[in-house]
Structures are given as C-alpha cells and as structure tokens.
Amino acid sequence: MTDVTSRRLDLAGTRSFAAPGAGAQRRRALAEFGFSWLQDLWRDACAGRRHEGVALAAVGSLARGDGGPLSDYDLVLVHHPRGLSGKEVGAFADKLWYPIWDAGVRLDHSVRTVSECRAVASDDLSAAVGLLDLTHVAGDADVVNAARSTVAHDWRANARTRLSEMHESVLARHARQGDLAHLVEPDLKEAHGGLRDMSVLRALTAAWLTDRPHGEVDLAHERLLDVRDAIHVVTGRGRDRLTREEQDACAALLGYTDSDDLLTDVSTSARTVAYAVDGTLRRALQSQRARTLRVGPRRPQLAPLGYGLYRHDGEAVLGPSADLASDPVIPLRAALVAARGGIPLSPTTLRNLSEQAPSLPEPWPEVARGLFSDLLAAGPGLVTVWEGLDLAGVVERWIPEWRAVRSRPQRNAVHRHTVDRHLVESVVAASGMVRDVARPDLLMLAALLHDIGKVPGSTDHSVTGAQVADTVLRRMGVPDADREIVVRLVREHLTLVELATRRDPEDPATISALSDAVGGSVTTLDLLRALTEADASAAGPKAWSDWRAGLVVRLHAACRAALVAAHEGDEPQALEPAPSLSLNDDALERMASGEPYVLVSSLGGAHRVDVVDRDRAGLFADTAGLLAAHGFVVRSAIVRTVDGLAVNEWWVDSPGGETPLPAVISRDLMRVATGDRSPLGRLQRRRSSGVRSPGTGHPDSARAMVISSASDTATVIEVRATDRPGLLQDIGITLARASLSVRSAHIATYAGQTLDTFYVTEFGGGRLAPARAAQAVAMIIDTCDGP
C-alpha cells in the first residue's frame, strides 16, 4: 500500500466513524489532503517549466468535497489556447499524471481549453453535469473560472433541450440499476436514490428551473456517504456496492447493532433521495414547459380524474372542492385515482392528506375496504403511489404494523427487495391474476400481508404474520369468514410450494396435507395457488422457475380434482337472491301511475339506490346505463323480478361526489322506456372521449361460464371481467338482443373485477337449451372484451 493510500485511510479515522458529525469532518479532511497533495505535485511539475495560462482543476467528488477514503480523483488540466503549445501542455500533463498513478490513486484525467470544455459539455451530458462542479486546485484561477462560468451559462441557456435528455438518462439508469432502497446488495452510487442522483439534483438547481428539497435529503445523503466510506475502509478498495460479505463489518464500523439495522437505514435514506429526485425532475419539467411562449396569461391545465382530484403537469392534485377535514376516505380515493392513472400524487397533496385528513374509524366502513381493495388491484401504478403515501406517513396510519417491515432487509438469497417492497411487488404480481380466483379482494389482502411477520425476533414469519394479519383485518372490519381465509393464506403461503417441491404431488398424503392447509376449500386453494405465484415471481427469477411452476400447477390440479370430487354430493349453493317485496304507500301510488319508484340512501360515502319498476325487456340494461351516465360506479347490486315487478337494489360509488337524485333517475327511466335515449348520451360521450374510470383495471380476456347445478328453473351464467363504465348496460343489452329474460342477478365488484351472476330464462320462462346457453356465453364474452 502506498504512502498516499495509507494516509487517506488514516484520515478516514476509523475510531470516529460512529461519532456524530464525524463523516462530514472526515470528508473535509480528505478533500483538504487531496488538494494539498495535488498542489505539491503542481509545484514539482512547474519547476523550470512555463505554466502561464494553465491550471489544474477538479471535478467529481473531490471538487464537491464528498469523496471517500479511496475515491477516484477526477482532474482536468485547463489551459489557454494562446499560452503553451500543445507539446508543452502534453509534457506538463505527464509531469502531473505519472506521480498520481505511481501513488496508486485511481485517476480520470483530461486536458482541455476553455472552448474544448464548452464543446465537450455540449456533446456529452455526463461531462456537462461533471463540469458544473469544476473547482480550482492550482495554477491560473482565471482559466478555471472562465471554463466553469461558460459551462454553467450554456447549461442554463440550453436547459430546455438538456432537461429532456437528462430525464431519459436518469430513467434509463434507474431501470438498469434498480431501486437502492429495495435492493439486498445495493449500489450506493448508480441505483435509484443513490449518490449519483444527488448530482442530478444539483444540476437541476444549477439550471435555475427549480429548487431541490433540503433537510432530510441532505441528512440522507450524508448517511449514504458514511456507508460508502465504510465500504472503502473495510474492503481497502474504492467500491460503491454494499455486498453481503461486507455488511456485518460495515455495520460494526458505523456503530450499528447489526447489518439489518444498517440496511434499514440505507433503505430509508435512499427512499428519501429517490423521492426527492423524482419530484424535482417533475417540477423542473413543469417549469421548463411554463417557459414556452404563450399568448395571454397562463392558466393551470387541470383534467378531472374523479373524487375531487385533477391531473396537473403529470401529477394528481386535490381540487378546491375536496373536503379534507371531514372525510377520512379521501386518501384512499386519491391514491386509487392516481394509481389507476399511473401518475404520482403531488408532494403538496400528500402532505395535505397526511396532515389534514382524519383517521379512518375502526372498524373501517365498507366503502373504505372496497377502495383499499381497488387500490391494491391497480397494477404497476401502485408502486409509485404507495411509496409516496408511505413516505408521507399515510400507510402507517392505515396499517401501523407496516412500520416494523418498512425497509427491512431480506436474508434469503432469492429475494431482490426489502420486505416492504417485496409485499408491494407481490400485490402488483397478484393483480395480474385477479381473473383466476373467485375473490380477488382477498388475494390482494393476502399478497399485501403474507410477509408482514418478517420482524425482528420472529422464528416463523408465517405464524407471526398470521397473527399480525388477523389484527390488521379486524381493524379494517373485514367480515369474519373473509378474515379467516386471508389469515389462513398468510399462515400457509409457503405450504403449496414446499409440498410441490419436496413431496410427491401424486401421493394421497401430499394431497391430503394441502387439502388440510386450505381447509378443504376449492376457493381457498385457488387463492393459495395465485398467492404462491405472486410471492415467488415478486421475489425474483430464482424463486419462480419453469420447473417450480410446473410442480405447483401439478399439485394444485391434483388437489383441486380431489376436493371437487369430495364435494360432488353436496347441495349446490343458493346463488339466487331470495325474492322479497315491501312497498310503502308512496311507492304504490307511483307504480299505479306508471312512474318508477326510486329511493336513495347514503352510508359511509356509498349510496344505495332502490328501483322498483314494471318489468320489461332491457330494464336492467337501461338502469345500469343511466347510473353510469350520471357518473356513478356500481359496486354491487341485487336484481330480481317479483310478480311482474322489477325490484332492484344498487350500491354505487360517486367519483364526482354527487348524490344520486331519485327524481332524476325516475324521470330518466321513464324517458328511456318511451324510446328517448338522450339520457344515456353522457355515457356515450364518456366512452368516445376515452375518459378512464376508477373502475378500469386489467385488459385480460373476460370469462363466462354456465353453472349447471345452481338452479332447476333458470340458466345461471357467471361472468368475470374487468369493470368499466357501462359494462353492466352492455351485458344487459346483449342479453336482451339474445331474447333472454333476466329473472334475477347478483352483481359484485372485487378489486376492480366484476363477479356477476345472472339467472336468465327464455321469454315466458324455462331454462336455455345447451346450444342457446353456449351462444349466450360467447356473446357475453365478446361484449366484455369489446371497447
């Protein structure tokens, strides 16, 4: 080891690594040593040589003063073109570079005039960002100042074009390196939320487009630098990746109890930096767009998203009509809209949601559980929105137990993310399988909670997790039967894959063990299979290979066949709603006059709309279409026919905040019944304008099937499809065109997916012939998959 390297390690002061403020002092001492040593080399190089108009400058970590004990030296020899000749400058550079190499210091060097600095910065984004930090070390300071000011001027002047280039470069690097906050062996420099992103923040502020966050971001930056310094000391090399082999030593050097605490701190710091760079980039882009020429005053461009939120410059923001102070469900609505739209919530909106929205009552109202389930099923857009909610403290208000797994590292080599990020990634993976199960809402909850027991001191995270999940679900008010299924899934989430890979899948004992694990329920078995795949695929490619997937499918199929065979003699479940009719005098008077009777009652942000009307062909489709036309989202419904009257109960949500008006719905039903389709015009305009609904989910193919044993007097068709505006109307119209009568229906929406059961007959009564039933199923599938 050379004297220079030894001196740099000595200056690191291993005894003071854990002391408060030691990191900043260490890096300041390292920078002072570096500058002093380079100035000595400069004096030696100048001995007996001309050096007018020549200067040595630093960029990178040495220039910023945040270099580690063994960081590279990035140096530029800047010279005036009218000074030394090219040959003289080359010889002068050799006198500088060779002693640095001989000392064992890694060196990135260049020789440039002021014009060449400007040209390189213009052509190379990375060079431009680096030259913004150009700092004088020795020689003619005027040459360095000229180069730095010229590059900075060009950077500001060309910010409009360079910003988009920087944005693309940052996104590509993040995609390549991953999220520092959620990696088991993170690269502290290049990953999303790492040290390189702090350079991006400085470059954005240098463009005068926006300011960057300080406070917590600066503290997070210091913590990452401390860990980087510890890696240098422990490995004796200028590395930036915190590998498993060095984690224990680095933790001890930095004064942590163990490496898990170290990784948790790294993750928390990285999340702070990542959120800061993402938000600052968005605001810089917004500022850049604001600089374009406009005629007249610039007004905010707000596109309504529903539930009082608007899209503004790529972010979801709360509008002035949002009732933050009295509505505890607003954070859920806002998160759902943002995740479905694939856009983040603005920092101001997140802060307001965290500070002003009241806490949810315990247990949660049903509308809150529905929105939470829809949020989890939103797909990839959930990741960014959940991260913002978590940093703002909203997630912890919903699930206090989340604090214990936030940023917790994994100790299994197959895992690529921290515990909390793995849970979110599992939810995203599970959202792609919602059509495979009867209760996608329970799948989403199980995916979110399956590793919630990975906390310090837990010997079996499945057992611990089941206990924690039970507490969480009770707070949410999940019904007992549903809660028991989710708790069972959390406790047994490893059972299927362990039995499939370690036992003979065709052995009756293996099938019996799996059957016992799911309580003999086919529904629970299907949920466990989907959860197994979501968990493994989110962990990483090592956890879900084709071989492992094949074994799981094989055992699942064998167990499912055994369970179905065991239940063949059971009585079929009564799916059809029991008919009942109780009308008051007002309803009877309206019905006598031929006017539909409509009653609206509101509870916990949801609305129940009861509609009683004379039964007719297309009534179901017309009612569903009118509710969608008025902007309401149908969550569930019970539709039935009693003595020639349609007695329908609809539960709807209102993205726009309006309350359904009974008189308006009744009037529009009468108009549509007489052939006036204009009340449905708003729904057609919403479709043609491409407005996305909070109900929009995954574009997978719909499924429809006949349940042959469900009724002796009607054909029962079950439909699973992605919910969208007007879907129920489309299905109703399809059934009417097929000359079928909807005797009753049970409509439900779970996690953005419809699970609808229709009891249909021929006009005049009677079940459908097999060919007619097959035709109806095909028509329904085509309708659900249509635009």
CB atoms within 10 A of CB 432: 17
Same structural domain, 427 and 507:
yes
Same domain, 551 and 598: no
Considering only residues 548 and 201, tell me which one the structure prediction assigns the higher pLDDT.
Answer: 201
Q: What is the pLDDT confidence band of residue 583, given thresholds at 50, 70 and 90?
A: low
Alpha-carbon span 535 to 546, nearest angstrom:
15
* Measured distance CA(671)–CA(170) in Å, rounded: 56
| Residue 224 binned pLDDT confidence (cut-offs 50, 70, 90) | very high
pLDDT given at position 571: 45
Last residue in a domain, options 570, 603, 622: 570
| Contacts for 719 with CB less than 8 Å, ≥ 6 apart | 702, 703, 704, 731, 754, 755, 756, 757, 758, 780, 784
The per-residue pLDDT for 386 is 95
Considering the domain architecture, whether residues 21 and 142 belong to the same structural domain is answered as yes
Q: Report the C-alpha gap between 329 and 366 in whole angstroms.
A: 11
3 state SS for 43-89? HHHHCCCCCCCEEEEEEHHHHHCCCCCCCCEEEEEEECCCCCCHHHH
Residue 596, both tokens: 């539909």
Q: How many CB atoms sit inside 10 A of residue 769's CB?
A: 11
* Confidence class for position 591, pLDDT limits 50, 70, 90: low
User: How many other C-beta atoms can be found within 10 angstroms of the C-beta atom of residue 564?
Assistant: 11
- Residue 695 is predicted with a pLDDT of 43
Give the pLDDT confidence of 723-779 residue by residue, as tens digits: 877 788 889 889 888 888 888 888 888 777 888 888 888 877 788 999 999 999 999
pLDDT of residue 753: 82
> How confident is the model at residue 686, as a pLDDT?
57
Asked if residue 572 has pLDDT above 60, the reply is: no
* Residue 689 banded pLDDT, cuts 50, 70, 90: very low
Do 504 and 611 sit in the same domain of this protein? no
Please tell me what DSSP assigns to residue 721: E
Provide the mean pLDDT of the chain. 84
598 and 708 housed in the same domain? yes
Pairing of strands 315-318, 597-603: unpaired
Same domain membership, residue 506 and residue 385: no
In a domain, 579, yes or no: no
Identify whether residues 616 and 498 lie together within a single domain.
Answer: no
Q: Assess if residue 645 is contained within a domain.
A: yes
Residues 621 and 787: their CA atoms lie apart, in Å, by 17
Q: For residue 11, which phi and psi values (nearest 5 degrees)?
A: -65, -25
Report if residue 599 sits inside a domain: yes
Compare 698 and 419 and report the one with higher pLDDT. Answer: 419
295 assigned to some structural domain: no
Average pLDDT over residues 369-381: 91
Q: What confidence score (pLDDT) does residue 412 get?
A: 63
**pLDDT score of 696:** 45
Which pLDDT belongs to residue 468? 96
Instruction: Write out pLDDT tens, residues 15-29.
Output: 567 676 788 888 888
How many residues can be counted in the chain?
Answer: 787
- Percent of the chain at pLDDT > 70 equals 89
* 296 lies in some domain: no
* Domain annotation covers residue 582: no
Q: What does pTM read for this prediction? A: 0.74
pLDDT for 658 beyond 90: no
One domain, residues 36 and 70? yes
HSE-up of residue 380 (Cα within 13 Å, Cβ side): 1
**Is residue 181's pLDDT more than 90?**
no
CA distance 45 to 512: 82
Q: Say if residues 600 and 659 touch (Cβ distance below 8 Å).
A: yes
Indicate the helix (H) or strand (E) that contains 465.
helix 461-476
Peptide bond into 596 cis (omega under 30): no
Q: End-to-end distance of the chain based on CA atoms, in angstroms? A: 70
Residue 592 has pLDDT above 90, yes or no: no
Report yes or no: 310 and 317 within 8 Å, Cβ to Cβ: yes
User: Tokens at residue 33, please?
Assistant: 């040593």
The mean per-residue pLDDT over the stretch 67-72 comes to: 88
Q: What is the pLDDT of residues 185-204, one digit of tens each?
A: 888 999 999 999 998 898 88
Task: Name 282's Cβ contacts closer than 8 Å, sequence gap at least 6.
Answer: 313, 314, 315, 344
Domain boundary among 255, 290, 325: 290
User: What pLDDT is recorded for position 363?
Assistant: 93
539 and 456 both lie in a single domain: yes
Rg (CA), the chain: 33
Q: Which residues pair with 718 in a beta bridge?
A: 705, 757
Could you give phi then psi for residue 179, rounded to 5 degrees? Answer: -90, 120
Query: For residues 180 and 192, is the Cβ–Cβ distance under 8 A?
Result: yes
Residues 194 and 224 sit within 8 Å (Cβ to Cβ): yes
Q: Is residue 781 part of a domain?
A: yes
Same domain, 111 and 139: yes
C-alpha to C-alpha distance for 604 and 333, rounded to whole angstroms: 13
What percent of the chain has a predicted confidence (pLDDT) above 90?
A: 25
The SS3 call for residue 188 is coil
Domain hosting residue 334, numbered range: 302-398
Residues 6+ apart with CB under 8 A from 50: 84, 88
711: in domain: yes
Q: Of 154-158, 190-194, 569-573, 599-603, where does mean pLDDT reach its minimum?
A: 569-573
Would you give the distance in Å from CA 757 to the centre of its chain? 32
Together in a domain, 284 and 331:
no
219-245 mean pLDDT: 90
Q: What is the CATH number for 175?
A: 1.20.120
Name the token pair of 482: 């549903």
AA letter at 245: E
Q: Mean pLDDT, to the nearest integer, of 523-528?
A: 95
The residue whose two tokens read 């059809």 is: 576
How far, in Å, CA of 320 to CA of 699, rounded?
Answer: 33
pLDDT band, residue 690 (cuts 50/70/90): very low
Are both 632 and 701 inside the same structural domain?
yes
Which of 211-220, 380-389, 714-723 shows the lowest per-residue confidence on average (mean pLDDT)?
Answer: 211-220
SS3 2: coil
The 135-139 sheet, strands edge to edge? 107-113, 73-79, 54-59, 135-139
CATH of the domain at 137: 3.30.460.10
Report residue 49 as tokens.
């040589």
Q: Which of 115, 138, 157 is the last residue of a domain?
A: 157
Residue 268 has pLDDT above 80, yes or no: yes
pLDDT in tens, 141-173: 989 999 999 999 888 888 777 888 888 889 899
The pairing of strands 73-79 and 107-113 is: parallel
The number of folded domains in the chain is 5
Picking from 454, 476, 478, 475, the residue whose alpha carbon sits closest to that of residue 464 is 454
